[in-house]
Structure 1
């Protein structure tokens, strides 16, 4: 019986090729002449790959059409790079986050400046405001905001190394930890003792954080936790594993923050 490749398998192979070459979705979409939403649908297996698009992928990545459609195709193999390919088209991208401690501290201070006076903003809400700021920014700009790694835990996404950063900030008199109650439950909160250095933040970064604060900072811990549990990056990650920032590209409304032109079609 002849092997028939499914749309899902095609999508997985495209993801493998793109990841190996270090291309963003925007870069690959431009190189094969389709919109980014169309590429997203291809990678999700929700859209068929045309022959023209396949030929462009073949020229870009250096594989034969027969090989790509075969059962044993390996997207991670060493493929020939066409000699006429612009080096700028294969720019290496850093998909693994690297924590910027100083920026993380300033973003934390900025969020606390805006929200510490709200009685609902304890540790749980604070963690989620950080998570959505980081992942929303990555979805929009394909760059890391704080570079924090987030792990999937039963109560939601939690930035790693946060405890040590908080303790360091307490020791440096940047923040104060207090224990209180909110609606009858014990709550751990943090108060800023100094202002954030906004020089550390680009206008685009501050804009994303402001929108997250505006949308979610009045939510209860239960409401924001429930909301985060339906966010695709958290939802599809195995418990105890780090959440991949690249999963932000597959969000759908109301979680997706990237706006596409309605006429952005093939």
Structure 2
């Protein structure tokens, strides 16, 4: 008689074995004829797996279904090699980001210092630069940069409490809000009125922000929105829900900022 597995245990076992075998989510999803977001939801324990899907997964990953259902499957398979992120991902599932308002304000000021003069950088682009700075840093270092929470809204990820923070900064003469037009469309922009205090930023944090600015700050609002909609954390989150930071560990190219190092280990 098989051991009774929860959806979470099934997902963790599949993710661990896939990682151990060096198979990407994209390749496994294709081999079992489901979408990558569906596979992500399975691995996170948010979606059940049909018997037919389990049979296909067992063939693709090379395991016995009978063995898979036993209590000792993980230890028998030695599925958690040292240095993999799966153990860390599991522990991070209970991690709740805590907003560091002062740090968030200074990250915002720093991005505006670098980008406010660019005519394309209105609210939409600004939101995405903040999102990718936060999620790229978390994927690399498994620590929160600003601790901001992002909600999935139709136009992309939006940091919560941003309106209140910006209002505080305007009242404190740190920011100025201006309304302009860009390519015939109305645009809301922000100008920094003081320099960011970077003493609270680690070199690694500034480096991640700089790379995001270099990569994306010249993109149009449409281009950066379309790009953010294909980022897996946004893609698999339900409309109106908070985007979980741990989903960053499931990214693949071109979004993943860790995948380059992992390729060297093959």
What is the TM-score with the length of structure 2 in the denominator?
Answer: 0.71
* Cα 1:117/1:188, change in 2 over 3 Å: same
CA distance in 2, matches of 1:226, 1:96: 27
Kept in 2, the 8 Å contact 1:231–1:251? The answer is yes
**Who is 2:71 aligned against?**
67
Question: Is 1:48 matched up with 2:61?
Answer: yes
**Could you list the runs of 5+ residues in structure 1 that have no partner in the other structure?**
16-24, 56-64, 70-88
Bigger mean CA deviation after superposition, 92-101 or 133-142? 92-101
1:140-179 aligned within 5 A: 140-179=140-179
Question: Is 1:251 matched up with 2:251?
Answer: yes
CA distance in 2, matches of 1:210, 1:252: 21
CA distance in 2, matches of 1:208, 1:220: 21
Aligned-residue offset at 1:218 = 0.5
CA distance in 1, matches of 2:204, 2:108: 16
1:96 counterpart SS class = coil
**Who is 2:31 aligned against?**
none
1:2-151 aligned within 5 A: 11-14=10-13, 38=22, 48=61, 66-67=70-71, 93=92, 95-151=95-151
Aligned-residue offset at 1:200 = 1.2
What is the TM-score with the length of structure 1 in the denominator?
Answer: 0.71
2:61 counterpart SS class = coil
1:102 counterpart SS class = helix
**Who is 2:265 aligned against?**
264
* Cα 1:122/1:37, change in 2 over 3 Å: farther
The CA RMSD measured in Å over matched residues stands at 3.5
**Who is 2:224 aligned against?**
224
Kept in 2, the 8 Å contact 1:35–1:264? The answer is no
Aligned-residue offset at 1:68 = 5.7
CA distance in 2, matches of 1:206, 1:254: 21
Structure with the larger helix share:
2
CA distance in 1, matches of 2:23, 2:168: 43
The aligned length equals: 218
Kept in 2, the 8 Å contact 1:128–1:224? The answer is yes
2:70 counterpart SS class = helix
**Who is 2:215 aligned against?**
215
Aligned-residue offset at 1:260 = 2.1
CA distance in 2, matches of 1:14, 1:142: 21
